[in-house]
Structure 1
Amino acid sequence: MILVEFVFHNINIKGFTVEGHALFSNYGEDIVCASISTLTIGTINSIIRICNKEVEIEKEDGLIKMYLPDTLETSVEAQTLLKSMLYNLQDIEEQYPENVSIKKSTFS
């Protein structure tokens, strides 16, 4: 299962962690994994390009974490991209609840 955690600071999304494997299908044929990877990487790349700032990323097999620097936390563009990612992932979770789980937590 892929576990997604969105971390909020006040009303803004501070960052997210995507961890695990969907196990919907064989490696290289897993549409759930491919969808989540595309949304995640696309969102990160869009934030970097649109906001013209680097973000903190940790990446390894089955794990990606991204946190906004304080200077981007209230950026309308970054928040719009992150909320779009959240909504799209929620749609995937609704269709594939055995393969994706999303939770929200508060930044401390």
Structure 2
Amino acid sequence: MVNSSKRSTTSLKLLISEIEATPREYWTELLETLRQFRQTIPLKNSPIINTEQAQKNQAAIDLLDSWLSEDEDASEHQQTWDYLKKAMDEDRLSDRPLFS
């Protein structure tokens, strides 16, 4: 029985020797081919990524980043927060406020 780490090291050495045997001007295409191949194979223990949800998440992240990058006065943010706290505490079923 062959040790898996030894087999892995041997495979890596063979892969590196093949790369080194390839003329350098083709390394960019070789790298792109390797990346495309890797994307087509199922990876063990890799999270399943829903691309549609990932795009929505990225859109939300971009929106939040744009809000953070706006040059607004900190007092304006505080006023907005104070208004939101007051609005959320109005007409509550509980007598306890959400925010103290």
| TM superposition score category, shorter chain reference | under 0.3
- Which structure is higher in RCO with an 8 Å CA cutoff and minimum separation 6? 1
Taking structure 2 as the reference length, the TM-score comes to 0.25
